[in-house]
Structure 1
Amino acid sequence: MKPALIFDMDGVLVDNTPVQARAFQLLFRDLGLTTNARQLLKRLNGMPAGEIIQSVFRHPIPQKQLDIYAEQREFLYRTLYWSKRRPLPGLTAFLEAARAEGFPIGLGTGSGGPTLSYILDHLDLRRYFDVVIGKDDVPKGKPHPDTYSLTAAKLGVQPLDCIVFEDALLGEQAAYRAGMRCVAVATTLKAANFQAPLTVIKDFVGLTPTRLLELLAQQPKAPKPQKRRG
């Protein structure tokens, strides 16, 4: 059986992290906060929005209020990104090739239902994925392994037979905690920021399923997660 390919969504299927950061920055401004959202996301990207927002405050915020803030940020993000939605270069060709060669394909993201639809359905990408797991399907988001562990289980594949595509440090750690290997997508971060990916790509142009198998053979075990990165 071919290994499973598991994709994060934001920053991997689409290059939307700068817009996500802008939406957070506008929310912070409205709340009177001076946190630099772009720098914040370099560390915490991949976590659910409510948890990212909570990290900015020095005191606990009631969950109901965090949900309201997250909804405000989501509205800002969708408004800013509305006319800019497009797949990362080479993505659809790579997905077509992987499906043709029989690779199981899953999506594991910290985004929820409406946000998933905003990207997947608008860009007609959902048809490529055998399994889609979002924040509402797991008790704990990244860097916990739940998102990727559940995606693998739904695909019927063992963790060691999974390759995760991630753009975020916490997402890479989630993959390693799940016992999987990872391809880093450097849409936001530099290659040197990642721990131990199979390879680092800026987009999917030129990447082939055959090349992935070659890289997998060069890293027979999943890297151990680093606590300081998670």
Structure 2
Amino acid sequence: MDGVICHTNPYHSMAFREFFSKRNLNPTDEEFAQHMFGKSNSYILRHFLQRDIVGDEFNRLEDEKESLFRKIYEPFAEPIQGFFPFVEELKTQDVKMAVATSAPLANLEMIAAKLGLDRFMDSFMASEDVTNHKPDPEVYLKSAERLGMHSYQCVVFEDSFSGVTAALNAGMRVVGVLSSHSRDELPPCNLYIQDYAEISYRDLEDLF
């Protein structure tokens, strides 16, 4: 979802900067790019706070940061260019679609409601739905199972190193969405796009 359906990373950065500034921490843009985009909150908090954050403390800190993000981002929520025409085309071809995100359910619900994603998606999975986060393939394997599909039948759209790695670990084809990283910063993908104006159903067919 983040960086794939919506270009949310700048707003996550704003929320994390506010969150960390309250704790006298000021991560650089480079640190955010390396240790935030595509990572789970458990990893991000552990990395920047330099200790394990678990249990009630994790729930409290995650809720604080993600509440900040939703407040900042909700007025600006919009899809990456060409997203709606593309998924509308896929829908006419009876393609099954799912959102598989490392974000918490509250974020997924907010963005899905703002964009009306229920019209297109057959499955939604958030961080609460898995035990192991990306680069573990669990969220993609479970999403495929929900759709009644095999891994080799699936294409994942990803923008982060850990997300692409998760998709490859799941045995799926990958389209790299270059919203947050360059091609050189991602593992090898089957196809790369800047936005959805560059891709069609036929391009997905060609991957098979």
Matches within 5 A, 1:1-230: 9-36=1-28, 39-214=31-206, 216-217=207-208
- Partner Cα distance (2:9, 2:76) in 1: 12
Moved over 2 A (4+): 34-48, 57-63
Distance change in 2, residues 1:37/1:75 (3 Å): farther
Higher helix share: 2
Describe the SS at the equivalent of 1:50.
helix
Contact 2:79 2:115 survives alignment (8 Å)? yes
Describe the SS at the equivalent of 2:196.
coil
- CA deviations 1:22-66 (Å, max 9, x no partner) are 111111111122322663343442232233111212332343212
Q: Percent identity?
A: 26
Contact 1:19 1:81 survives alignment (8 Å)? yes
Amino acid at match of 2:141: S
1:131 deviation in Å? 1.1
Contact 1:43 1:169 survives alignment (8 Å)? no
1:85 deviation in Å? 0.7
Distance change in 2, residues 1:155/1:198 (3 Å): same
1:213 deviation in Å? 1.5
Q: Aligned residue for 1:4?
A: none
Q: Which runs of 5+ in 1 are unaligned?
A: 1-8, 218-230
Describe the SS at the equivalent of 1:75.
helix
Contact 2:35 2:47 survives alignment (8 Å)? no
1:180 deviation in Å? 0.8
TM-score (norm 2): 0.94
Q: Which runs of 5+ in 2 are unaligned?
A: none
1:158 deviation in Å? 0.8
- Partner Cα distance (2:78, 2:170) in 1: 29
Distance change in 2, residues 1:124/1:155 (3 Å): same
Higher relative contact order (CA 8 A, sep 6+): 1
Amino acid at match of 2:18: L
Amino acid at match of 2:90: A
Contact 1:145 1:178 survives alignment (8 Å)? yes
- Partner Cα distance (1:173, 1:62) in 2: 25
Contact 2:35 2:44 survives alignment (8 Å)? no
Greater CA deviation, 51-60 or 72-81? 51-60
- CA deviations 1:117-150 (Å, max 9, x no partner) are 1101111112201111111111111111100000
1:115 deviation in Å? 0.9
Q: Over aligned residue pairs, what C-alpha RMSD do you find?
A: 1.5
- Partner Cα distance (2:179, 2:194) in 1: 6
TM-score (norm 1): 0.85
- CA deviations 1:172-195 (Å, max 9, x no partner) are 000011111110111111122111
- Partner Cα distance (1:22, 1:84) in 2: 13
Greater CA deviation, 58-67 or 159-168? 58-67
